[in-house]
Amino acid sequence: MIEALPQALALLMQPQTVMVGIAAAMFGLFVGAMPGLSATMAVALLVPVSFFLEPVAALTAVVMTTAMAIFAGDIPGALMRIPGTPASAAYVDDAYQLTRQGRPELALGICLVTSAIGGLFGTAVLILLAPRLAEIALRFSGMEYFWLVALGLSCAVMVAGRDPLKGAVSLLVGLFIATIGQDVTAGHPRFTGGISSLLSGVSFIPAMVGMFAISEILRNLPTIRNAAEVQVRRLGSILRGTGGVVRRHPVNLMRGNVIGTAIGILPGAGADIAAWISYAVGKRFSRDPDRFGKGSEEGLVDAGAANNAAIAGAWVPALVFGIPGDSVTAIVIGLLLMKGIQPGPDVFLFNPEQIGALFLAFVIANIVMVPIGVVAIRLCAKVLLVPRPVLTPLILLFCMVGSFAIDNNPFALVVMAVMGILAWLMEENDVPVAPAILGIVLGDQFEKHFMTTMMKGDGSLAFFVSRPIAAVLAAVTAAVWIAIVVGLVRRGPVRLGRGGAPAGGLHRPPRGEDGGRGR
């Protein structure tokens, strides 16, 4: 591979590849910043264009688009509490609360810098350790995936706030929503109410847009005339203070890099699970866990580094064994086959120049992410200059377009509205929304791997821990729940704040604050 680097650099510096890379970066930033439009959708839209591109140019476009889109999802999350991509949902409350505190540039600066560092770390792992790490991921069977998903769901309860019981209720709501549709084993319709559009289940993107965006619109309707213009006036240097935050939390940064890369390598996991797990681990080991969800710098460092580190990690099994690490690399495998490149161990022997160019594209994408990201943040922040009575309908319109564009199905708008009202009711009663979101995302995988493992083990629960890796993941999951129970016991009865609400139990500002309710 080292010998092929000069040829790889020459391929990457061709005029067509350079222009395609720049255009793809702009496209990724736009898609990521639009609520409801995911990085997977962006890459899928590139497939028709790739017919007219050389292999290196096509792969560069995918890398640039994915890296930029995952970061850009943090921009609407920080400014409007609407995560642009699912990976941003894990820490959207922290970014948004920093903005409400008058520090939007710090929130976005942390997300930008940690994303770039995480991406470079994941790329280094991809280049240096791809074959060995892919061998570990290849050992995973259904039972290992079951415990991995169970660990992710457990982490959702852990980050739910001071009242894990309400977090568990929220998680159960999400898991119930995930069961709507056809049974994963028998194909029998469940909880569809005779609605044919629900046979394929509740689409995640409209549900996420509704639970974050529509609920936020409903919550802010009483104060729609009081636009948060102070956010724009205080938007100073994007990178000012970011270096100090990174230096104060080097352990969080490295931990997010490692967790993100490791989770990304596991087939089917991706940046979404990486961000959630890294955020939960960061809260577990934080000296000030109560700050998480209320503007925690540590939470942003942990999860921000993990989501972009997972991007490169997902390419490890895709390149070495042809096993997609996430939905993006599933599309990439088809793209490689279309270009005559067969994923597998031989790809490093027969296509060293193309693979070397791919590695260099990862490095360049994460380096140029910082200057391009600063410009993108500036442009997106101008949106806040629009009066709120004008901006709110525009946000609603973008949410509707993003939800409808997933399947071109008008029923997605119904899902978005219902999920928005549900999330608004949950938050009005101090029930966090984040665990429900993760339950919707992982519920299908949780059930599928549980049922396949039960069938393989002939109904024996002991079969779930019959393999070493599964036993380790089971032990870690059990440790998470023990920590939750011990925390509840030590805390004792939940103290009630004003109005009967649990003190510190919800990740949102109290009533009466700027942009809140009750004015």
Residues 395-424 have pLDDT tens digits of 788 778 767 876 778 888 898 899 989 988
**Do the domain assignments include residue 500?**
no
pLDDT on residue 514: 36
**Do the domain assignments include residue 269?**
yes
**Do the domain assignments include residue 315?**
yes
Most trustworthy range by pLDDT among 36-45, 270-279, 415-424 = 415-424
Average pLDDT of the residues in 166-174: 87
**Do the domain assignments include residue 27?**
yes
Please tell me whether residue 189 adopts helix, strand or coil conformation: strand
Token pair for residue 345?
Answer: 């161990």
**Helical segments of 159-229, H only:** 164-179, 204-209, 215-220
Q: What is the rounded CA–CA span in Å between residue 158 and residue 309?
A: 23
Most trustworthy range by pLDDT among 117-121, 238-242, 351-355 = 117-121
pLDDT at 458 over 50: yes
Share of the chain above pLDDT 70, in %: 81
**Do the domain assignments include residue 507?**
no
Worst-scoring range by mean pLDDT, 108-112, 142-146, 229-233, 353-357?
229-233
Mean pLDDT, rounded, of the chain? 78
Structural domains in the chain (count) = 1
Average pLDDT of the residues in 388-396: 73
H/E segment holding residue 292: none
**Do the domain assignments include residue 454?**
yes
Q: What is the rounded CA–CA span in Å between residue 495 and residue 444?
A: 36
pLDDT on residue 223: 61
pLDDT at 471 over 80: yes
pLDDT at 29 over 70: yes
Average pLDDT of the residues in 432-448: 81
pLDDT on residue 421: 92
Q: What is the rounded CA–CA span in Å between residue 495 and residue 515?
A: 26
Closest CA to 91 of 260, 297, 392: 297
Tokens 């724009």 found at: 232
Please tell me whether residue 160 adopts helix, strand or coil conformation: coil
- 459 CB burial (10 A radius; 0-12, 13-18, 19+): exposed
Q: How far is CA 133 from CA 149, 222, 225, 267, 303, in A?
A: 20, 52, 54, 12, 22
pLDDT on residue 254: 93
pLDDT in tens, 341-369: 777 767 777 777 888 888 888 899 889 88
H/E segment holding residue 182: strand 181-182
Other beta carbons within 10 Å of 220: 19
Average pLDDT of the residues in 218-229: 60
pLDDT at 160 over 80: no
219 or 53, greater pLDDT: 53
pLDDT on residue 121: 92
Q: What is the rounded CA–CA span in Å between residue 91 and residue 164?
A: 17
- Residue 388: domain span: 2-230+242-493
Average pLDDT of the residues in 75-83: 80
**Do the domain assignments include residue 498?**
no
**Do the domain assignments include residue 517?**
no
Token pair for residue 486?
Answer: 């011990």
